[in-house]
Amino acid sequence: MVRKVGSDSGLVDALLRLWGHLAKSRKRQIGILLILMLVSALAEVVSLGAVVPFLGILTAPEQVFQYPVVAMVANALGIASAGEMVLPLTVLFIAVTITASAVRVLFLWVNVRVSNGCGADLSLDVYERTLNQTYAIHVSRNSSEIISGIQKVSVAQAVIQAVLSFVSSLVLVVSIMSALIAINATVAISAAIGFGLSYGVIVILSRRRLERNSRFMARETTRMIKVLQEGLGGIRDILLDGTQSVYCDVYRRSMLSTVHARGSNQIMGSSPRYVMEAFGMMLIASLAYYLSLQEGGVAAAMPVLGALALGAQRILPAVQAIYSGWASMTGNKASLLDALDLLDQPVFHERREDEIDPLMFSDRIRMQMVRFKYVDRGPWVLDGLNLAIPKGSRVGFVGSTGSGKSTTLDLLMGLLQPTEGSLIVDDVLIDRKYKRAWQKTIAHVPQNIFLSDSSLAENIAFGVPPEKIDFEKVSHAAERAQISEFIEGLSEGYQTLVGERGVRISGGQRQRIGIARALYKQASVLVFDEATSALDNATEQAVVSSIDGLKRDLTILIVAHRLSTIRHCDVIFELDSGRVVAQGTYEHLLAHSQSFRNLAKVTE
């Protein structure tokens, strides 16, 4: 289940959970990135150290040989005068600056590649885990929460970038501060305390607001997805009732609230930079005035002042990046937790599909003393169900709403597992070990056939990559489903696009495509769950004729609202309150079951 918005969890715990979901290869890449962080920080320190002798040779050349680096270079090059050192120090300064910049660009490139790669891995992981959950879990979930949660995986990528920025900036700040302390400890430590206290106060003042906005954005994002689904899913009723404004108002309120919360977080994350930059400029100006009053005046102070100014120019953005990284992590925490709950979904390890052979049966399917309920404390939906289905038979299931018909089919298809009792095919118990093998023998035709916005051929061979479609099988399946004549009469034939959700074809054609899809699978068991209940009588009879015309080597299971659909079944099971209360042919039940006769009258 998706985490309820508003539940709390520490940021560090969330980051540790996120780290646990990264692939080993990504962790190694992050390790390499940490090494690059250190190299980048070292390059910054070297470039900062190169400023002092460079400015010294320009402002106080007579004192330049007091710097150990200058003395070492002079000895190596055999230079004795300060004038001769100008060019070597200039070249050295330029080389160090270019090297430091190149290392920063390399670090940025690797950082972006690694964080984007981690985001792509996590997004795929969430999608795979979600699709591989059991059917029981899927029916208990709100789809808008799932879609919203999957979208929030992009937040995980943003958090990874924020963490890497936080760590790299922290390493850079520590390195530069160490260099500045070596140059002038009093000024460096004083500045560090001043900036540290300032950002500490900002963190204390902004933390609660950031966390509140984080929870708010997570909740409103889910609400926006929900109203989008409801608006598009119920578009006919909305157009007829003229209720567009109702849905637009709900969406507008959630969108504006989310935008305002996100904007508030962005302001809190970015605004301290400008305050701190102004503070830093005042500090440098004050320092320049102070050093100008010391022995040697401005000329003697210039190398130190230049190094401190360059250090401030490097360190202020880094300190701001540390704060911004923290603000981003805190502001996205609630959405990150939603994504992590999807990442924490258990993985149901299955063998590769191409390694599983269909479980063919030669005798019968049996349900023995099957009881089922959807939740532990819920009512029994099926209670002591016993039935046998011979291979090659046509079997119907009837009963009033809530009698357990569709649940029985879901159990027979292995989508649900019995709470008690067993499903047996021949002598094989259909448990987790054999579930996929059994499902590979089954094809399902529901009441509402899902059609993708693609060609008729792709919809018949649904789930098969376009380049792997067997068009001979497609044509044969369409012929058996009695829709080939219609398709071949179209100008583009099997390449005709059906439109989103099949808006360009009729209800009867949609159901026949569903039958053709089932036949393309070459399954030995076909399941029709209210497959004709939404059709008019004439169209229903045409579809039923298509079903009746299928070969007798197929076992066909039908749940029907109209009893005319199952009139020709070999056996019909009548269910009531999760039990089989009568069974037999249509004529037998009509003669011996009063409840069946009542159903027949209602559906006439």
Instruction: Summarize the confidence of residues 139-160 as an average pLDDT.
Output: 76
Which pLDDT does position 529 carry in this prediction?
Answer: 84
Q: How far apart are CA 565 and CA 540, in angstroms?
A: 8
The mean per-residue pLDDT over the stretch 473-492 comes to: 87
Q: Please report the pLDDT score of residue 350 as a whole number.
A: 58
Q: What is the largest CA-CA distance in the chain?
A: 122
Task: Give dist(CA 515, CA 521) in Å, integer.
Answer: 10
395 bridge partner residues: 557, 571
Mean local confidence (pLDDT), 357-375 = 88
Q: Is 405 exposed, middle or buried (0-12, 13-18, 19+ CB in 10 A)?
A: buried
What tokens appear for 572 in the block?
Answer: 């019909």
Q: In what order do the strands lie in the sheet with 428-429?
A: 382-390, 364-372, 420-425, 428-429
**pLDDT above 60: residue 300:** no
pLDDT of residue 2: 42
pLDDT above 90 (res 542) = no
Report helix angle 185-233 to 153-183, nearest 10: 170
Residue 283, beta-bridge partner list: none
Q: Give pLDDT tens digits for 272-283.
A: 777 777 777 777
Query: Which pLDDT value is given to residue 138?
Result: 78
The reported pLDDT for the residue numbered 367 is: 93
Confidence of residue 583 (pLDDT cuts 50, 70, 90): very high
For residue 5, name the pLDDT band (cuts at 50, 70, 90). very low
* Alpha helix (H) residue ranges in 332-370: 333-343
Inform me whether the pLDDT recorded for 7 exceeds 50.
no
pLDDT of residue 323: 80
* Mean local confidence (pLDDT), 269-297: 70
The rounded distance, in Å, linking the Cα atoms of 358 and 548 is: 25
On whether the 357-441+557-604 domain is CATH 3.40.50.300, my answer is yes
Count helices and strands in the chain by DSSP H and E runs: 22, 10
Mean of pLDDT over the chain: 80
pLDDT of residue 1: 42
The predicted structure's pLDDT at residue 395:
92
What does the pLDDT average to over 472-484?
87
Q: What average pLDDT does the segment 516-522 reach?
A: 86
Q: Write down the pLDDT at residue 94.
A: 84
Bigger pLDDT: 245 or 561? Answer: 245
In this prediction, residues 352-367 reach a mean pLDDT of 80
- Summarised one tens digit per residue, pLDDT across range 368-379 is 999 998 888 888
Residues of the chain with CATH 1.20.1560.10: 11-343
Among 61-65, 137-141, 263-267, 424-428, top mean pLDDT goes to 424-428
Per-residue pLDDT, 112: 85
Mean pLDDT for the stretch of residues 554-570: 84
Q: What is the pLDDT of residues 165-175, one digit of tens each?
A: 888 888 888 88
Cα(369)–Cα(357) distance, integer angstroms: 28
What value does the mean pLDDT take over residues 388-408? 89
pLDDT level of residue 8 (50, 70, 90 thresholds): very low
pLDDT at residue 296 greater than cutoff 60:
no
Residue 453 near residue 484 (C-beta atoms within 8 A): no
Average pLDDT over residues 121-149: 79
pLDDT confidence band for 271 (50 / 70 / 90): confident
**Residue 380 burial by Cβ neighbours in a 10 Å radius (0-12, 13-18, 19+):** middle
Higher pLDDT, 25 or 219: 25
pLDDT value at residue 47:
76
| 81-124 pLDDT per residue, tens | 666 767 777 787 788 888 888 888 888 888 888 888 888 888 88
The CATH number of the domain covering residues in 11-343:
1.20.1560.10
Checking if the pLDDT of 9 tops 60, the result is no
Task: Name the segment(s) of the chain with CATH classification 3.40.50.300.
Answer: 357-441+557-604
The pTM for the full model equals 0.69
Average pLDDT value for residue range 509-534: 82
Q: Under DSSP, is residue 579 helix (H, G, I), strand (E, B) or coil?
A: strand
Please determine, for residue 63, whether its predicted confidence score (pLDDT) is greater than 70: no
pLDDT tens for 207-264 read 788 878 878 788 888 788 888 777 776 766 677 667 788 888 888 888 888 888 878 8
